[in-house]
Structures are given as structure tokens and as C-alpha cells.
A and B are shown apart, each in its own frame.
Chain A
Amino acid sequence: MSHGPSIEWKKDNAAKIKSRLGIVLFIVYTLVYAGFILVNLVNPKLMAIDIGSQNLAIVYGFGLIILALVLAVIYNHICSRAEERLNNENETNNNTKKRGSE
């Protein structure tokens, strides 16, 4: 049995854009998440202040969950478009080509 990847993937021209975007969004989320921890460490009482009928802890907590999903959808949208644009120039079907199951 060989080691390493099971198939040689076609060169992905969008790889650079995708990984750079991934890192940017990762940093954005990490900062927001770190902010949540920091507020709790530095000024935990701040978490109790009212925001509308809710408090900061609920809004920030739900916000982190929703933000993850929003960033994920944005990421996928941009990645898919980059793949279409860059990988279909030379060869169509490049990206959706499936490997054989046997």
C-alpha cells in the first residue's frame, strides 16, 4: 500500500485565496471569542448589563454561535466562486470530479 494522499488532486488554483481567507476569518472569530473570555476575566459584572430585554452574556453567547455560522457561509460562498472562476479556466469539471469508489 502506498502512503500519503489516496489520489493526486488536480492543482487547485483557488487554494491560495481560500487559505488566506480562512486565516483572516479565523483571526476575526478568535478575536471575538477571546473578547468574550477577556470580559469574563477582567470585568465579569459587565456580562450582567442589560441589552434590550436580554443581558450581555446571552447576546454575546448567542452572537458567537451565530457569527460562526455567518462567517462559515461567507467563507463557503467566496471559496466556491473562486474555485469556479480559477479552476474552470483550463478545464471544466475539474473541481467536481469524483474519485472512483473502488
Chain B
Amino acid sequence: MNYQASPWAITIFLFFVASVLAISYYFARRTKSAEGYFAAGGSIHWSVNGVAFAGDYLSAASFLGICGMIATAGYDGFLYSIGYLAGWVVALFVVAEPMKRMGKYTFTDALDSKFNSKGIQLIAAISTLLVSMFYLIPQMVGAGTLVRPLFGLPHWAGVLMVGAIVIIIVATAGMASTTYVQFLKGALLIIFSLVIVFLVLFNGLSTKPDQGGDVPYHEFIRLEIASFEGENLSLEDTSYSVKNVWNTKKIGIAKLEREGEELFFSIDKKNNALQECLFVTHLQDGQILYNGAPKADERFFQVGSLSDINGDKNGETGTLNLFDFTGTIKNSNVTLWGKEKVMDGENTVEVYFPKQVSGKDVLRPGLKFKVEGTTKDKLDFASLMLALFCGTAALPHILIRYYTVPTPADARKSTIVAIASIGLFYVLTLYMGLGAMTNGVIDLTNDNMSAPLLAKSFGITIFAIISAIAFATVLGTVSGLIVASSGAVAHDLMDRFFNMKLSDKAKVRAGKISAVVVGCIAMVLGILFKDMNVSFLVGWAFAVAASANLPAILMILFWKKTTAKGVMASVAVGLVSSLTIILLSQNTFNDVYHLVNVKSPMPISNPAIISIPLSFITLVVVSLLTKKEQVVENG
């Protein structure tokens, strides 16, 4: 799949950026005080704040990552949608109002409101900064990934562009401009997701999707096997000659040649046939070929289709409603794609082979997360679902949004608007993901682009709009994170921990300088971590936030014996234990350190199921041990 810069996309994007900057300058004149800068003067209407929550929360990981994962792994991607939304229940029922009541600008304020403890101020600020950084890196990397296909610019240009725009948004008017940028982005994202889903349903399903006639459906070659034993393969069709055969753990792969052209096939022993594959060849000199040709030749076609509809191999449904759409997929079979690496002489070849999967299995968990696997697999699954559930109400950039509304009742109401809009969006992710899965739009080398490419199959205008929104998605989330970090530095650390007694004006200046510094650090990290898997890091941020922050928040609210030392110990233990598990896990060994055949010391990859209870226990034990001390300190 080759991407060309679309002038439409650039125009719409520039228009969006211009309006965002206009908003920032408009609010800059009105935000002179610290309260104006860090909390938008506490004067945002709850309905605006609710949609801004959605803009804040629905990051690139939600829009690109979840849709891409559903497109390639079915229901398992939707598990993220379910978990991310469930987290808001914790935020609404337990955290929203007390958070607003106890705090002023930052989450640290709320933790510290009963204690006035230096230790809490320091550790909570560190926690805020760490979680924000983990969350910032994937957003910046995502920005870089997006500009390549959309504007034809290199990775670093995307990172610098986002960094610069966000620094302007935050440094001019802080939370006020950030809020309206997020409001705009959240509303646009939901409206245009609705449009895409409407178009998906309107077009219905077909076994030969041709993107509305724009891209002809690729008929896959199927060859009959004459005989196959060990590595000796011969075919009925003698115009193909067999060049090589691999029997890997997953599947048999054959390299064939016909009229000087090399092709890869997977060996389907059951049906005694070969199936055409897609392949990416990494030549020794660093050159990469897609289906045997450079990317610009566009030989690497998009995939994704139903192999039959209700048993009919040439089926077409016409317009469907929401229920018939999933119902039809359930009763059909889907062609999904597996990936296997083989060595062809000196070249490494990634072969993408077709798999027939029943619609029944696509629409239930299990393709990616092995819920039917070993205890360890099950534990990983449970741990992920726990982290998603507990993470939301502990994310600093979400928590600071409670300080932008006038009253605790408004905090509650805005959370409900957030649940409604975010819930609606997550329902739509399932249809967008399944739409991409069945409409022949998936680029196997980059499943994150599934949603934008689905939009592209409906026309270049909607593609341009969706691309601009995807980019804006990064702007909204990044600006929220930078406000949170700048609050942690200027308010929690400088003003309170170091007791610098900043005047209101000086505090705003300190906040703005911190925003610029944090923004620059984020840009550098975004460029350094270029090849890092995006959804991976968001998972880290959730797990770390849930382990470090949530136990402290909950216990302060509901357990009177909680002491300052208990809170400190709990946050510290949560941070350290979750990070240790992540850094020593098998996923990190493989994907981050690239130690492919090394067994990691940690049995599970998602820390939440260990680190959250550990953090709770620490809080209780330390609080009980330091009970008397606390009385003296306070007295």
C-alpha cells in the first residue's frame, strides 16, 4: 500500500490548526491568573467539559489502535473499548465529586488535602510526570506515523509539528484553550465516526469488496497440489515451478516462480491446495520489497473480506442495520491474515498467509488473547482488563479536568456526558473495525491505518477529514498531558514542595515555562522511540497509573485511618512494582530490547493484577504502623 499526500487533507488540517490557534489567542487574553491557567478559571460549562473529556480520552490509541486491532483480530480489539469505558464508572461513582471537593489544580492537591505532607507532594508529582510521559511518548510517535501517509512528511517532522502546535496551545492559554480544542476534536471525532459507520452499513457486506468500484477486488490464486511429502512439492499446474518449501511451526510455505516472477503460497494440507500470500522481502542491502516490488509500484494490495456470506461464496447483502451487520458476520466466514517470517537465502521474508476463520470466532474473545490457553495466558487477560478498569480514574490528565467546572455537581454531570459520548464512540469502533475487516481496506504492514483507509474507500474528502481529525486527536490528548505535567512542576513541586511562595503571576509564568520544557522533552522522546509499538506504551501508562494512584485515591476517600506515610508508600510501591514487572516482562524483552530468544524472568506481561493489590496492602500496613506518629505530626 502506497500513500500519497492529499492536498485536501492538508487544506482541512491547516484549517483545523488555524482555528485551534485562534481559540488559543482568544483565551490568552482572559487567562492571567493561576486558576485561569491551570483550571480554566473553573468556569467551563459541564456539557462542554463532558465532550472535552471525550476529546482528552479518545487518543490515537483509541481511534487508530482499537479499530486496527478489531480489523485484524476481531472482538479482542473491542475488549479494549469495553475496559476503557468501564473505567469511567469508577471515575463517576467514586472519584468525581470528592476529587473536585478536595483539590484545586492538580491530583496531588486532592491526595494531599488532609495531610499537607511534603512527601505526598513529591511522590504524587513524580507519579504524575511519569504517567504523563508514558502517555506522551505513544501520542508523539503516533503523530509521526500519521504524517508519513497523510502529508508525505518524515516521522520527525510530524513529531515537531505536533510539539510546536501543542506548546503554542498550552503556553498561551493553558487549560482554557486546551478545553476548547478537546471539545472541538471530541465532537468532530464522534460525528465523523457516525458518518463512517452509516456508510459501512449502507454499503452492506460483499464477498468481493471493491471499495465502491475504486479498487478492483483481488482474486486470490489457488493451486491444486499433485503431491506433497516432506519438502517435495509438485503441482497440477506446471506453469509454476517450486523454488523452496518451509515447514514452520505455524504453517507450510512455498516459494514458486512463474514467468520470472516470484510468489509465496501457504500450503493448505487439508484441502490439498496452495493459497496465494502477500510478502515483504527485506533484502540484505536494506531495501524492502512489497510483493516483490518497491512500495511505489503498489503491488502490495489491501486485503480483508468475507469468504462467504451465510454460506454463499458470491454473496452480497445490500444495506444492513446495526444488528443484521454483526448477525450476518456471525453466520459467515472471514479471511483473516497470519504472519510468518522465513529466511530465503540471505533475505528475510515476512509472509502474510490467509486463514479462514468462522464469524462465530471473530465475534468472541480469543483470537489475540488466548482465553482458552494456559493459566498464564488467562492471568494476562484478567490483568489487562483490571488495568483498563482501574486506570482511567487515575490518569492525571483526566483528573485535572474536574477542576475546570464550577461545582462538584457539575463535575458529576460532565462525567455523565463523557460516558455517553465515549460509550457511543466505542460502540462505533466495533462497526468501523469490522467494516475495515470485510471491505478490503486493510494494509497488512500497518493495521493502525485501518480506520482512515476505510474512510478512504468512501471517497477522498471523507478520508481527508478523518485524517485531519486523527491528527487533531493527537493534539487534544497531548495538550491535556502537557497541562497536567506543567501543573505538577509549577504547582506541586515549585510552589508547594520547594515552598517557593510564587505569586499568582509568577506561577502562571512557571507553568508556561514548564509546558514548553515538557513539550520539548516529549518531542525528543517521540523521535527517539520512533519504532516503539504505540498501543504497548498506552497499556503501560494505564497499568502504572492504576497501580500508583488509584489505591491512594480510594483509601483516602473511604478509610479514615489512612496516613500520609501510607499514601506515600502506596504510590511509591505501585510505581516501582508495576514498572519492574513491565520492564522484566517477555513482551518488553521481545519488542523493546529485541531479545527474541531470551526467556524473561517475569511470567506475566500485564502488571495490574499483582501491582494494584500490592499497592493497596502497602497502604494499609504502613498506615497502621504509622498511626500514632501521624497524630503527633498533626498535633
User: Is residue B35 contacting chain A, with contact meaning CB distance below 8 A?
Assistant: yes
In the bound assembly, the distance between CA atoms of A25 and B93 in angstroms comes to: 7
User: Is residue B420 contacting chain A, with contact meaning CB distance below 8 A?
Assistant: yes
B324: min CB distance to chain A, Å: 7
Which of A12, A19, A22, A75 has the most chain B CB within a 10 Å cutoff? A22
Task: List A contacts of B94 (CB < 8 A).
Answer: 22-23, 26
Interchain CB contact under 8 A, A69 and B420: yes
Given A4-B116, A40-B381, are A26 and B364 also a contact pair (CB < 8 Å)? no
Task: List B contacts of A30 (CB < 8 A).
Answer: 89, 389
In the bound assembly, the distance between CA atoms of A27 and B85 in angstroms comes to: 16
Task: List B contacts of A101 (CB < 8 A).
Answer: 35-36, 41-43
A73: min CB distance to chain B, Å: 7
Nearest to A6 among chain B residues (CB) is B104
In the bound assembly, the distance between CA atoms of A23 and B90 in angstroms comes to: 9
Task: List B contacts of A65 (CB < 8 A).
Answer: 81-82, 85, 423, 426-427
Contact of B360 among A9, A22, A48, A71 (CB under 8 A): A48
User: Is residue A68 contacting chain B, with contact meaning CB distance below 8 A?
Assistant: yes
A69: min CB distance to chain B, Å: 5
Contact pattern, A 77-100, Cβ under 8 Å of B = 1, otherwise 0: 001100100000000000111110
B518: min CB distance to chain A, Å: 21
Task: List B contacts of A61 (CB < 8 A).
Answer: 75, 78, 81-82, 430
User: Is residue B208 contacting chain A, with contact meaning CB distance below 8 A?
Assistant: no
In the bound assembly, the distance between CA atoms of A37 and B385 in angstroms comes to: 8
In the bound assembly, the distance between CA atoms of A39 and B412 in angstroms comes to: 32
Interchain CB contact under 8 A, B361 and A48: yes
Given A44-B365, A99-B406, are A64 and B93 also a contact pair (CB < 8 Å)? no
Given A53-B324, A64-B82, are A4 and B109 also a contact pair (CB < 8 Å)? yes
Task: List A contacts of B327 (CB < 8 A).
Answer: 53-54
User: Is residue B113 contacting chain A, with contact meaning CB distance below 8 A?
Assistant: yes
Contact of B409 among A37, A64, A73, A95 (CB under 8 A): A95
Interchain CB contact under 8 A, B409 and A79: yes
User: Is residue B456 contacting chain A, with contact meaning CB distance below 8 A?
Assistant: no
In the bound assembly, the distance between CA atoms of A77 and B14 in angstroms comes to: 42
In the bound assembly, the distance between CA atoms of A95 and B413 in angstroms comes to: 14
Task: Spot the interface stretch: B125-133, B144-152, B473-481, B495-503.
Answer: B495-503
Interchain CB contact under 8 A, A1 and B41: no
Interface size on B, residues (CB 8 A): 70
Task: List B contacts of A33 (CB < 8 A).
Answer: 86, 89, 385, 389
Nearest to A56 among chain B residues (CB) is B364
Interchain CB contact under 8 A, B495 and A18: no
In the bound assembly, the distance between CA atoms of A67 and B81 in angstroms comes to: 14
In the bound assembly, the distance between CA atoms of A23 and B92 in angstroms comes to: 10
User: Is residue B97 contacting chain A, with contact meaning CB distance below 8 A?
Assistant: yes
A39: min CB distance to chain B, Å: 9
Interchain CB contact under 8 A, B501 and A1: yes
B504: min CB distance to chain A, Å: 8
Task: List B contacts of A73 (CB < 8 A).
Answer: 416
Task: List A contacts of B415 (CB < 8 A).
Answer: 72
Task: List A contacts of B81 (CB < 8 A).
Answer: 61, 65
In the bound assembly, the distance between CA atoms of A25 and B415 in angstroms comes to: 15
B375: min CB distance to chain A, Å: 10
Task: List B contacts of A19 (CB < 8 A).
Answer: 97-98, 557
Contact pattern, B 88-104, Cβ under 8 Å of A = 1, otherwise 0: 11101110011001111
Interchain CB contact under 8 A, B423 and A68: yes
In the bound assembly, the distance between CA atoms of A101 and B389 in angstroms comes to: 34
Contact pattern, A 34-73, Cβ under 8 Å of B = 1, otherwise 0: 0011001100110110001111111001101110110111
Task: List A contacts of B292 (CB < 8 A).
Answer: none
Which of A5, A41, A72, A83 has the most chain B CB within a 10 Å cutoff? A72
Contact of B423 among A1, A52, A58, A69 (CB under 8 A): A69
Interchain CB contact under 8 A, A102 and B33: yes
Contact of A96 among B42, B324, B330, B407 (CB under 8 A): B407
A-B contact count (CB 8 A): 167
Task: List A contacts of B101 (CB < 8 A).
Answer: 5, 9, 12
Given A54-B326, A95-B407, are A26 and B93 also a contact pair (CB < 8 Å)? yes
In the bound assembly, the distance between CA atoms of A69 and B89 in angstroms comes to: 9
In the bound assembly, the distance between CA atoms of A3 and B407 in angstroms comes to: 18
B326: min CB distance to chain A, Å: 6
Contact pattern, B 318-352, Cβ under 8 Å of A = 1, otherwise 0: 00000110110010000000000000000000000
A56: min CB distance to chain B, Å: 8
Interchain CB contact under 8 A, A26 and B89: yes
Task: List B contacts of A4 (CB < 8 A).
Answer: 102, 104, 109, 112-113, 116
Interchain CB contact under 8 A, A68 and B407: no
In the bound assembly, the distance between CA atoms of A83 and B408 in angstroms comes to: 11
In the bound assembly, the distance between CA atoms of A88 and B82 in angstroms comes to: 39
Nearest to A96 among chain B residues (CB) is B407
Given A64-B82, A69-B419, A79-B412, are A57 and B92 also a contact pair (CB < 8 Å)? no
Nearest to B491 among chain A residues (CB) is A1
Contact of B86 among A56, A64, A79, A95 (CB under 8 A): A64
Task: List A contacts of B330 (CB < 8 A).
Answer: 53-55
Task: List B contacts of A37 (CB < 8 A).
Answer: 381-382, 385
User: Is residue B583 contacting chain A, with contact meaning CB distance below 8 A?
Assistant: no
Given A55-B364, A79-B409, A101-B36, are A3 and B112 also a contact pair (CB < 8 Å)? yes
Nearest to B113 among chain A residues (CB) is A4
A74: min CB distance to chain B, Å: 10
Task: List A contacts of B507 (CB < 8 A).
Answer: 1
User: Is residue B378 contacting chain A, with contact meaning CB distance below 8 A?
Assistant: yes
Q: List 24 contacting pairs A-B, 8 Å CB cutoff, sorted by A.
A: A3-B116, A4-B113, A4-B116, A5-B109, A6-B104, A9-B101, A19-B97, A25-B89, A30-B89, A33-B86, A40-B381, A41-B371, A41-B382, A44-B365, A44-B371, A48-B360, A48-B361, A54-B330, A61-B430, A68-B85, A69-B420, A71-B93, A79-B409, A95-B407
4 closest Cβ contacts across the A-B interface?
A: A53-B327, A22-B93, A101-B41, A57-B364
B residues sitting closer than 8 Å to A (CB atoms) are 33-36, 41-43, 75, 78, 81-82, 85-86, 88-90, 92-94, 97-98, 101-105, 109, 112-113, 116, 323-324, 326-327, 330, 360-361, 363-366, 371-372, 378, 381-382, 385, 389, 406-409, 412-413, 415-416, 419-420, 423, 426-427, 430, 495-496, 501-502, 504, 507, 557-558
Contacts beyond the supplied A55-B330, A65-B85: 11 A-B pairs with Cβ under 8 Å = A3-B496, A5-B109, A6-B42, A9-B408, A25-B93, A29-B86, A47-B365, A53-B324, A69-B419, A72-B420, A76-B416
